[in-house]
Amino acid sequence: MGTLYTPTDNLVQHLVDYGEDEAAGHVMNLTKEDFDHLAEIAFDHACTGMLLAKALALAAVEIIEGKPRELKKKRRVFAR
Q: Which residues of 29-44 are buried (b: 16+ CB within 10 A; e: fewer)?
A: ebeeeebebbbebbbb
Domain range summary for the chain, segments of one domain joined by +: 8-65
Cα within 13 Å of Cα(36), Cβ side: 4
* CA–CA distance, 76 with 1 (Å, rounded to integer): 27
* CA–CA distance, 60 with 63 (Å, rounded to integer): 5
Q: DSSP character for 65?
A: H
Mean pLDDT by 10 residues, the chain (80 residues): 94 96 96 97 96 97 97 83
Task: Report the pLDDT value the prediction gives residue 79, as an integer from 0 to 100.
Answer: 66
Q: Is residue 45 within 8 Å of residue 58, measured between CB atoms?
A: yes
Q: Which amino acid is residue 32, in one-letter code?
A: K
Query: pTM for this structure?
Result: 0.93
